[in-house]
Amino acid sequence: MRRSKRLVLLSKFLSDNPNRIFTLKFFGEKYDAAKSSISEDLNIIKDAFLEGGEGVLETIPGAAGGVRFRIKRPPEEIENFLSELCDLLSDRSRIIPGGYLYTTDIIFSPEYASRIGEIFAQIFVEKEPTCVLTVETKGIPLALMTAKALGVPLAVARRDNRVTEGPSVNISYVSGSSQRIQNMALPTRALSKNARVLIVDDFMKGGGTARGMIELVRQFGAEVVGVAVLMGTALPEEKLVKNYVSLIVLEKIDPEQGIIRLKPIELAVKN
C-alpha cells in the first residue's frame, strides 16, 4: 500500500477511535508496514491534526504504550459553535406552551449532538472518566456522543426497572424544580465499583436529577468526576449540584413577549 493511502486509512481509524491507545505493532500488522514506516506516518498525521485544529496525537511511553488521538478543537471554534447554537435556540417559535423551549431537534441531530459530545469530552478528558452516565431519554444522544468521543461505554439510568436488564439499584430523589419525588434505576452490571463517571444531561434547572444520578453512582461505590449539561437556567442560582459545566445559560424566557435570552458559558470555551 502506498503511503498516501495508508495515511488516509490511519487518519480515519484514529479519528473513529478517539482516546484509545494503539501500538505501532498493531498498525504495522493492520496495514502490512514496518514500524519505522508507521512511525513516520503518525508524525505526519500528528502535524496535520494539530495544524487543522482536529486534535492531538499523543505518544504513550512504556511497554504498554503507543499512540492515542484526542479531540481538541480551537477555543474560537468552540466559541463560534456555541454562539451559533444560542442564535438557533433563540428563535421565538421555539417557545412551547408552559414556557418551555423546544430543543429536541438539536439534541437528536447527529451533527449537533456529536459536536456537543466532543466539547464535553474535551473539557473532561483530563479527569479520565471510564464511563458516561445519563438518565432517559433526552440526555441519551448527547451522552452517547460524549462516550464515543471519550472512547468509553455509556450507562443509562431509567425511571423504572427493566426485566431485560436484570437486577438494578433503585433510588428515590426530589426534583430540584418541581420538588416531586422521582425514581431512578440502574442495572447492577452497568457500573463497576472503581468506575470514574461523567454525568451528562440535556438540561438543568434546580439540579435534582443530576444530584439523583450522583447518589446513584455512590450506591455502586464509584466516583463522579464531572457533571455536564447542554443548558442550565440562570435561576435558581443555587443548584443542588455545586460543581457542573453547562455549555449554554438560559437567562430568560418570556412566552408573552416572545423573548428568549441565552448565552454561552465562558468556562466551556476556555477549556
- Which domains are present in the chain? 3-71 (1.10.10.10), 75-270 (3.40.50.2020)
Q: Grid cell 492515542 — which residue? A: 68
**Is this model's pTM higher than 0.75 or not?**
yes
Query: For residue 20, is it left (φ>0), alpha (ψ between -120 and 50) or beta?
Result: beta
For residue 266, what pLDDT band results from cuts at 50, 70 and 90?
Answer: confident
For residue 161, what pLDDT band results from cuts at 50, 70 and 90?
Answer: confident
Phi, psi of 263, rounded to the nearest 5 degrees: -145, 145
For residue 270, what pLDDT band results from cuts at 50, 70 and 90?
Answer: very low
C-alpha cell at 38: 508507521
Nearest to 200 by CA among 107, 116, 124, 134: 134
Percent of the chain with pLDDT over 90: 87
Q: Which amino acid is at 131?
A: C
Q: With a cut of 50, say whether residue 111 has pLDDT above it.
A: yes
For 244-264, what is each residue's pLDDT tens digit?
Answer: 999 999 999 999 999 999 999
Terminal-residue alpha carbon distance, the chain: 39
For 46-57, what is each residue's pLDDT tens digit?
Answer: 999 999 999 999
Q: How far is CA 24 from CA 7, 32, 67, in A?
A: 14, 11, 8
Nearest to 233 by CA among 253, 254, 217: 253
Range 19-57 burial, b when 16+ CB lie within 10 A, else e = bebbbbeebbeebebeeebbeebbeebbeebeeeebbeb
Nearest to 157 by CA among 222, 217, 204, 244: 217
